[in-house]
Amino acid sequence: MDTIYEVLAEIEKERGYKFDLLICCGDYQAVRNYGDLHHMHVSEKYRSLQTFYKYYSGEKEAPILTIFVGGNHEASGYLSELPNGGWVAPKIYYMGFANVVRFAGLRIAGLSGIYNAKEFNRGHYERPPYSDRSEVISSYHVRNIDVWRLKHLKPADDDYTSNPIDIMVTHDWPAGIVDYGDKQLLLRTKPFFHHDIEHGNLGNPSTMQILYETRPRYWLSAHLHVAFAALVPHKSKNGAEEAAPTRFLALDKPIPRRHFLQIIILYENLQALELDIADDAELKLSYDPVWLAILRSTDGFTSISRTNAFLPSARSEERSDFRPTESELAAIAELGDLTIPENFRQTAPPLKEDTPRARLAPSSSYYRNPQTAEFCSWLGISDINKMLAETNPDNVAIAHYMVEESFADTSEINIDDDVSLFARFSFTNLSQIVERAAGFHELI
C-alpha cells in the first residue's frame, strides 16, 4: 500500500488532483502481525509482512480514504472478524463478504473472494484456528447467499433504464465478460486463458447476472494479473430509453510497467454519466438503506454450516423476492443516521517492532470484533462473528483493545478483587490467551 499511496501522492503533486477515495479490488493483505501470515494462502517462501501493520498499529495513517474487497491472498483470519465489513485500520474499510455503501452520493457495491463450485452453497463456517490449510483456502470462496443478496439490488421489474449501482467491486471477473472486450488481445497476453474461456470457466459464473440486472456504471476487478477493459450495453424493452452501459475494467498487479492503477474523475463527467452528486456531498462512507433492509429481511438464511443450504426460488411457496418493501425501508429509516461510525479497535496485538522473535509468532487467535457486534445489534441481525466464536469458545482470545483499556484505567483495578480480569471482560474461560506481537502469554 505504501507504493500505491506514494504513486497517488506524486500524481496529486504533478497534476493538481486531490483524490477523495481509493478502491482496491482484492489481495489487500491486511496483515497485523506475523501471526496473521499463517492465515494467508501464499507459498511460505513468498509470505511477507509488508507494511499494512504500520497502519493497523497507528504508526502510519492512510492519506486517502480506502475501501477494499477481499481476494484469494488475504489475512483471512482477520477479515473473518468483519463479515459485514468494517475498519481494518483508521481510514481503511473492508467491505465484508458482500456490501453496499454510499460515498458522496455514489452507491458502491462489493463482493469478496473468488468462485469455487464446491463451497458455493455452504455457509461461512471458517475461522481460526483453521483445522487445516484447506479451510484457509475455502474461507475466501464466494458464497451463494452473498451473491443472492446482491441480486436483490435490481430495481422494479418494469425499470430497464436506470443504473441502480454506480460502482461494483469484485476480485474475480464475472464469467463471460471477455465477450464484451478485446478477447484476442487478452489471449495474446494470456494464451493459457483459452481453455477456461472456451469452457466458460474464466471468472465467477454467478455474477454476470448481477451485472445484467443491476447495471453498474463501472465494474472493477483484479485477480487475473492482467489489465482488461470491456463495455457491456444494456438493452431496453419496448423501445424504452436504455440504461447507461457498464464499463468493466480489470487491473494488473502493482508492479512497474503494469496497468495497476486507474484514475476515475467523476466530477467532470456528472452530466454525461447522469450522476446526481451535490457540490457539498459529504466525503464519508455511509450504509445503504436498501442493503440494510435486504440484510434484515434475509437474516434467516445466514448460516455457518458446512452443509449446502439452498435458497428460495420463484417457484417456491415461501417468499423469494426480498427487494425491500416500503414498510421495510421505513423501518430502516427509523435507525436514524446511517453514517458508518469510525469505531476501529485493535483486536490482535499490533506489531510494534519487527524483530527475530516477532517472526516466530504462532498463528493468530480468533477475536470478537466490536464493530461486528455493534453493527449486528444495531440492525437486529445474526452476528456471524459471535456464532463462529461460540463454535470453539476455548480458542477465542481477549481483544488487545480490551486489555489496553483495562490497564490504562488503573484506578479501577484491584489485584485482590474476587472479580477476575476475565469476568470483567465477560469471558468465561480463564485460560484464554492474550496474544503478544512476538508470541503469546497465557493468563491464569
- Identify the segments of the chain with pLDDT beneath 70: 238-241, 267-279, 407-444
Residue 116 lies in a domain: yes
Cα 388 to Cα 302: distance, rounded to the nearest angstrom = 12
Question: What is the pLDDT at residue 414?
Answer: 44
**Residue type present at position 239:** G
Task: Give the residue numbers spanning the domain of 53.
Answer: 2-333
* Count of all residues that appear for the chain in the document: 444
Collapse the DSSP code of 208 into the 3-class scheme (helix H, G, I; strand E, B; otherwise coil) and give the result: helix
Of residues 319, 180, 328, the one with CA closest to residue 249:
180
∠ Cα 332 335 341 (to 5°): 115
Residue 193 lies in a domain: yes
pLDDT in tens, 140-188: 999 999 999 999 999 877 787 889 999 999 999 999 999 999 999 999 9
For residue 9 the three cell numbers come to 501522492
Q: What's the pTM?
A: 0.90
Q: Which residues, in sequence order, are bridge partners of residue 170?
A: 111
Residue 408 lies in a domain: no
Residue 441 lies in a domain: no
pLDDT in tens, 351-371: 988 889 999 999 999 999 999
Question: What is the pLDDT at residue 279?
Answer: 67
**Residue type present at position 308:** N
∠ Cα 31 36 37 (to 5°): 90
Residue 348 lies in a domain: no
Residue 367 lies in a domain: no
Residue 33 lies in a domain: yes
For residue 77 the three cell numbers come to 483470519
The gap between the terminal CA atoms of the chain, to the nearest Å, is 39
For residue 44 the three cell numbers come to 511460505
Question: What domain count does the chain have?
Answer: 1
Question: What is the pLDDT at residue 45?
Answer: 85
For residue 5 the three cell numbers come to 499511496
Q: Which class for 223: exposed (0-12), middle (13-18), buried (19 or more C-beta within 10 A)?
A: buried
Answer yes or no: are the C-beta atoms of 169 and 109 closer than 8 Å.
yes
Cα 245 to Cα 180: distance, rounded to the nearest angstrom = 11
Q: Which class for 416: exposed (0-12), middle (13-18), buried (19 or more C-beta within 10 A)?
A: exposed
Question: What is the pLDDT at residue 235?
Answer: 84
Residue 374 lies in a domain: no
Cα 145 to Cα 55: distance, rounded to the nearest angstrom = 32
